[in-house]
Structure 1
Amino acid sequence: MISLHTDHRYPPVAAHQDLLRFYGVDGQGIRSAVLSYRHRKTREA
């Protein structure tokens, strides 16, 4: 399980999809988090 967290920045006034991208929890942000996690785990093994 991977936890994604948002930071404490105030969000801009934007559309829903733009807010997801701003906090990194859109499709691309989730993909990057998973790939980063997999990369860390393979380096630890």
Structure 2
Amino acid sequence: MNWFMKFITTKSFMPFVIYRILLGILLFILVGTDTLSPHAGESAG
């Protein structure tokens, strides 16, 4: 975690923002194509 704080103070925060946006889009695609279930983490009961 320390390396991350050093990275964003010396560089830009934008690569992290782009990474998070792309990850979110990928999750929407996986859920939309039924590859990933939105209820996969829930326990039955």
The TM-score by the shorter chain falls in which range?
Answer: 0.3 to 0.5
Larger radius of gyration: 2
The alignment's TM-score, normalised by the length of structure 1, stands at 0.47
